[in-house]
Structure 1
Amino acid sequence: MCRVPGPTLADIARAAEVSTATVSHALNGTGRVGEATRRRVRETATRLGYGTPGPPRTRTLGIAVTTFPAAWNYTDIAYFSRAVTAATSAAHARGYALVTLPADRAADDSWHSLAVDGMLIMDSPRGDPMVRALRARGIPLVFDGVPGDPRPGDHWVDNDHESAVREVLDHLVASGARRVALQSGSGDEHYAHAVTAAYERWCADRATPPLVVPFDPADDEGHAFDVLLRDAENRVDAVHAAYDPGGRQLLAAAARHGLRVPDDLRVVCASEDPAYARTTPPVTTVTLSPEQMARAAVAVLVALIEDDGTAPSGPVSVPAGLIVRASSNPRPTQPV
């Protein structure tokens, strides 16, 4: 089922007498490239057989997280670790190897020659250089989460963040909360925007002002919450943290302010970390179902590679889940 690898962008660049960057722009429809040059590059690519459909060349899939350009070990994060493990299993079950790429490769020219039949990209931001390079090569792509630069015909797997956020907020209100804040990311990834927008719409429905705290992964003591917790009269009584460390940050902030969780402050955190079941008190978490997300993404990717007609025509939605623990369930008031 293997075939001889086709031409690379460098091969096309040499044949068309342009730079590799010009080839990437011409094939991807980006950048400032004259129409004559764009046409010459595309004709050269066609003549050399670039992107010609055929059976898988390597029986290998790639997976990477490209949200942040700097080097970081995303497999230290429970969500990504579990997703990578599930994606590996799903790939093996279909006869493919899966290669996990380091995050800092997103700015590396090696994307132009990476030997994979398809790529699963997690949390792709706008202007993702890896996506541009792989699109130009005609490599099938599937995204975990809505890509920063979606195009007609793109394939992705994502949660219904609107429903998930509303479930959390309604749960907190049902537990007695009256002033609910959100800790959300300030980055460019779709997840942060989707969660924040869902929270703001929920607040608008209730005619209450939104209270959003920016997420800081280095804020171990939760000092970002001080402004919401120090004033007893205007203090919030519940927070939904959209990122993994947020639950521990909130527990630390509550302890510094002498607040009891959940009686004074209810806490919910989006996390796949099982250790939250052992904190004091155990923290209610939202699972984004990384295993189900990864299995669904690999299934779509293999369908695209093999062109077997089973790839869905639109995005695939995977439900999130609320795991209720003591941090959001105040003890009932005892009768006097």
Structure 2
Amino acid sequence: MRMALPIRPAGRGTGRPNLEQVAAVAGVSRATVSRVVNRVPSVDPDTRARVEKAIDEMGYVPNHAARSLVTHRTDTIALVAAEPDPRVFGDPFFSAIIRGVSQELMDAGLQTTLLMAQSYPDLDRIQRYLRTAPLDGVLLISEHADHDPIPAAMAAAGVPLVIGGRPVQTDIEVPYVDNDNVGGARLAAEHLVARGCRRIATVAGPEDMSAATDRLDGFRAALGDAFDPALVEHGDFTQTGGESATEQLLERSADIDGLFAASDLMAFGALRALRRAGRRVPDDVAVVGFDDIPLAAAAEPPLTTIRQQTVRQGRAMARLLLSIARPDLAVATGDGIPDVNGVDRIVLPVELVVRESA
């Protein structure tokens, strides 16, 4: 007895289906199928739906290599983190940015390539790769002053680039998406003052990063004449760095009664240093962080912090880059993200989240 075999859609399992076969099934021309595959927006919606149905039924897979030769587009965006992978995978800020970028690019039908610099020489190797790699554009996060050759290299090569954060290198005009670091730090300092704190210190971030300098500027502006340069110690946006910086602040001035840490991870380190020094939070020292990462609410005590919209920042970065590098695509709108059309910078609002630490 001969077993009946299931009927397969034309082209599936009989060799890779081509554009002509898809066109025949959809009842359109080969050129129309090509326009649908390449996401040309002028195709009639009903025709597009018919072609996409045929593509799904036949299991047609576009030849991306051949398509990129014709369209000069690769449907791939590089996301470069100018940090080693322990920082990228250990800091919730980076995971949120990556999630936002990936979500937005996936919605647009594009792929993300993640590149991480383990050292400063790696940045030079990465920029050489980016100049010739088959990419539609580049996103850069965690730029450091005087260390990062990527902005200049992308400008010279004509590769579209968007930076996450205010660019450090001011001699090159690069579109960017940032959070209101100055305003957020001002909110933190004003909150500490309103609580009655009079000796307010800060664990600032690295001096070669714009987020750190902007947060220090906001903190300084809010305190005005009460700002004391001796109550500033720089960390590296890590828990260990925040702990070490707080220890140094306490050695210089044991009467600190308020502390603003420029990141939640550094605030966690500050809490450890204060606890070890016998200082109660918030009774002896009120502490405010910046980021509102998921662990902030679970800290002991729960951390008062500045909430920034990091996932939304990643989405806005991708959306802004697409508006520049892929004008053939319909860029999404809404979702709380400002309109990216015709703009070269976006600054997202932040807010104070009050918990038990201050």
Q: CA deviation at 1:265?
A: 0.6
Q: Which residue of 2 aligns with 1:300?
A: 320
Q: CA deviation at 1:272?
A: 4.1
Find the aligned partners of 2:75 and 2:232 in 1 and give their Cα distance: 45
- Counterpart among 76, 79, 88 of residue 63 in structure 1: 79
Letter in 2 for 1:123: S
CA RMSD of aligned residues (A): 2.6
Fraction of identical pairs, as percent: 27
**TM-score, normalised with respect to structure 2:** 0.70
Show the 5 A alignment for 1:100-179: 100-104=114-118, 105-108=122-125, 109-127=128-146, 128-151=148-171, 153-179=173-199
Find the aligned partners of 2:241 and 2:173 in 1 and give their Cα distance: 41
Q: CA deviation at 1:230?
A: 5.4
SS in 2 for 1:172: helix
CA displacement 1:24-79 (0-9 Å, x = unmatched): xxxxxxxxxxxxxxxxxxxxxxxxxxxxxx9551111111122x5x6644132101
Unaligned stretches of 5+ residues in structure 1: 7-53, 329-336
- Counterpart among 187, 196, 199 of residue 207 in structure 2: 187
SS in 1 for 2:153: helix
For residues 130 and 266 of structure 1, do their structure 2 counterparts lie closer, same or farther at Cα, with a shift above 3 Å needed?
same
Find the aligned partners of 1:91 and 1:221 in 2 and give their Cα distance: 34
SS in 1 for 2:357: helix
Show the 5 A alignment for 1:274-289: 274-289=294-309
CA contact (8 A) 2:139 2:317 kept: yes
CA contact (8 A) 2:233 2:248 kept: no
Q: Who wins on radius of gyration, i.e. which is larger?
A: 2
CA contact (8 A) 2:232 2:249 kept: no
Moved more, 309-318 or 71-80: 309-318
Find the aligned partners of 1:65 and 1:129 in 2 and give their Cα distance: 13
Find the aligned partners of 1:116 and 1:178 in 2 and give their Cα distance: 53
Letter in 2 for 1:325: R
The structure 1 segments of at least 4 consecutive aligned residues displaced by more than 6 Å after TM superposition are: 2-6
SS in 1 for 2:77: strand
Unaligned stretches of 5+ residues in structure 2: 1-37, 39-63, 332-339
